[in-house]
Amino acid sequence: MGYLIAAFSVVWVGLIAYLGWIALRIRGVRLELETTRALVEEREAANKQA
Amino acid sequence: MKTLDQQPNTTTANATAQAQRARWLLYGEIALGIGALILMPIAIWAALAYAPTDAVQGDVQRIIYVHVPLAILPYVAFFVVFVASILYLWRNDERWDMLAHASAEVGVVFTTLMLIVGMLWGQGFWGRPWDWADPRLTTTFILWLIYISYLLLRFYTGNSERGARMAAVLGIAGFIDVPIVHFSVTWWRSIHPDTNYLVDNGSSALPPAATFALLVSFVAFTLLYVLLTVQVYHSLTLRRAALRLRAEAEDVTSES
Amino acid sequence: MTASFRLSLDQLWAIIVKDWRAELRARQVWVSMGFFALLALVVFNFAFDLRVENKASVGPGALWVAFLFASVLGLGRTVGAELDHGSMDRLLLCPVDRQVIYLAKLLGNLVFILIVQVVAIPIFAVIYDVPVLTPGIIPIVALGTLGIAAVGALFAAVSAQTHAREVLAPLLTFPLVIPVIIAAVKATEALVQPVANDAPWLGLLAAFAIIYVSVGALTFQYVVED
């Protein structure tokens, strides 16, 4: 019985941790995309002025 | 890096197509997420309460309702890696490369969980966590090692196109190894008669309630595999987009 | 025999001869490879404390682990270093099929590994006192080494182009060649202590070698080209 509980908790903790990690990665990459986009616009604006 | 070669006037059309694709990806994720969210509690209930307690093994046997789907799905995942790798080398479309990467990652996570759960079951039923004499266990373990090395290779090569091609070569070579590994580890220990007790533990005649529990669990985990793969794929597409944008930004600054 | 096939054979031979010349003249990887194999056998002898009762079962394992390490080491120094130094780029500029280049590198290295083994196996037989010097060892060593080298050459080329270099080559090669190690060790054990109804280990070695020489020849181009 103890092994059953251990097995189920390992699977569910593991899967939820993995889901959370993926969500974090997606958020991190989204943030990176936004900052890069802002950077590009900034530079383009600077180029036009020059 | 096809989009980089395209003319500026087609990039807007390309961007709308990409946005369309991203939207479908999101809808898919939501639908799969809802499906998994509904099925998973049913699967857990069926495994823990609905299915009858095994006469020989007792409650420990209920582990198989998560163990079996977690053992079968990596083979599906690595087959997807194999096919996507071939298609990537053939068509040179980076979407196949990202699919292979995502599927390999989810496959490794499932295999890891399956190995831990299998060891717990082994400890509970056989009294020891591991036995090299079980060919399925050993094959899956070697498979796990191969795809860990696949992920390491991906890690070391970063986002280069050559790295993607090298990973594709490993994705093909690794999957072809599966039947050879299976034959070798089966013959390796099959000469020793004292290990046959592991090969089958009399679970062939499952009662209908147990079959139902296994089936629901399998469908739920399959949904979860697809959901996770799509999500990792999604994060990879975003990562590529960010890298591409950064490369463009550097082009802009170098031109000025 | 078609003309293009003959041309490929000529090219194959030309690359092999060129590599042998360079190897004999300067790099001498095979000397260090042979010495490495010998050292590994000595280390295993102490690590496992080989005595009369267990040497028949541990000896073949020690021999094949030594061969595996030596092969991966040697392939890293030849195929890998070549990609690293850019001499492969010049070869790729020549109008030669990529399959031919892969096969030439594979066969050229195979000969060197086999030379090492021809020296190492008698030494192994003497210092471990295991009777493996029978004609039966020849196909086992030839097919087993071909299988290891086919995978090893491909992934030596892969890892040479990453940041990890020497570390990555064994990480990629070892899991894939586990069937070769199992089959070669079991077949060598059967030479020392014949087993009734043994599994078809030689067939497995042959199948592995054929499959991975083909996979390597077909995919090598994707690894080395820009």
Question: For residue B191, how far is the Cα from the chain centroid?
Answer: 33
Chains A and C touch (3+ CB pairs under 8 A): no
Give the C-alpha separation, B50 to B54, whole Å: 12
**Is B170 close to C198, i.e. CB distance below 8 A?**
no
Supply the pTM of this predicted model. Answer: 0.88
Buried b / exposed e over C139-175, threshold 16 CB at 10 Å, is: ebbbbbbbbbbbbbbbbbbbbbbbebbeebbbbbbbb
Question: What is residue B60's predicted lDDT score, i.e. its pLDDT?
Answer: 77
Q: Mean pLDDT over residues B98-116, rounded?
A: 95
Half-sphere exposure for B92 (CA within 13 Å, toward CB): 7
Residue ranges of chain C whose pLDDT lies below 70: 1, 26-27, 52
Give the residue from C12, C10, C69, C4 showing the smallest Cα distance to C40.
C69
In chain B, the percentage of residues whose pLDDT exceeds 90 is 36
Question: What is residue B74's predicted lDDT score, i.e. its pLDDT?
Answer: 93
In chain B, the percentage of residues whose pLDDT exceeds 70 is 86
**Is B173 close to C197, i.e. CB distance below 8 A?**
no
* Most confident region among A3-12, B123-132, C80-89, C207-216 by mean pLDDT: C207-216
**Is C199 close to B187, i.e. CB distance below 8 A?**
yes
Question: What is residue B126's predicted lDDT score, i.e. its pLDDT?
Answer: 78
Instruction: Let me know the angle formed at the C-alpha of B142 by B139 and B148, rounded to the nearest 5 degrees.
Output: 140
Give the C-alpha separation, C28 to C112, whole Å: 10
Of C154, C161, C175, the CB nearest to B162: C161
Give the C-alpha separation, C223 to C162, whole Å: 11
Chain B residues with CB under 8 Å of C222 CB are 89, 165-166, 168-169
Give the C-alpha separation, C216 to C218, whole Å: 5
Number of Cβ within a 10 Å radius of residue B35: 16
**Is B253 close to A32, i.e. CB distance below 8 A?**
no
- Contacting A residues, span 5-44, partner chain B, CB-CB under 8 Å: 6-8, 10-11, 14-15, 18-19, 22-23, 25-26, 29-30, 32-33, 36-37, 39-40, 43-44
More confident: B56 or B223 = B223
Chain C residues with CB under 8 Å of B184 CB are 178-179, 182-183, 204
CA dihedral sign, ordered C6, C10, C11, C12: positive
Question: What is residue C52's predicted lDDT score, i.e. its pLDDT?
Answer: 66
Contacts with C106 (C-beta within 8 Å, 6 or more apart), sequence order: C149, C150, C153, C213, C216
**Single-letter amino acid code for the residue at B245:** L
Question: What is residue B200's predicted lDDT score, i.e. its pLDDT?
Answer: 47
Give the residue from C140, C116, C146 showing the smallest Cα distance to C200.
C140
Chain C residues with CB under 8 Å of B173 CB are 151, 154, 176, 212, 215, 219
Locus of tokens 């056998």: C41
Nearest chain C residue to B172, by CA: C215
Has residue B197 got a pLDDT over 70? no
Half-sphere exposure for A31 (CA within 13 Å, toward CB): 6
Which residues on adjacent β-strands are paired with residue B54? B58
Q: Tokens for B158, please give them.
A: 């970063």
DSSP letters, B104-126, are HHHHHHHHHHHHHHHHHHHHHHT
Contacts with B108 (C-beta within 8 Å, 6 or more apart), sequence order: B74, B144, B147, B148, B151
Give the residue from C143, C146, C145, C172 showing the smallest Cα distance to C159.
C172
Question: What is residue B256's predicted lDDT score, i.e. its pLDDT?
Answer: 53
Question: What is residue B11's predicted lDDT score, i.e. its pLDDT?
Answer: 64
Burial class (CB within 10 angstroms; exposed 0-12, middle 13-18, buried 19+) of B30: exposed
Q: Mean pLDDT over residues B212-216, rounded?
A: 88
Q: Tokens for B22, please give them.
A: 């991203």
pLDDT digits (tens, 9 = 90+) for B51-87: 777 767 777 778 888 888 998 999 999 999 999 999 9
CA dihedral sign, ordered C102, C107, C110, C115: negative
Q: Mean pLDDT over residues B224-248, rounded?
A: 90
Q: Mean pLDDT over residues B143-154, rounded?
A: 94
- Interhelix angle C55-75/C98-127, rounded to 10 degrees, is 150
Has residue A35 got a pLDDT over 80? yes
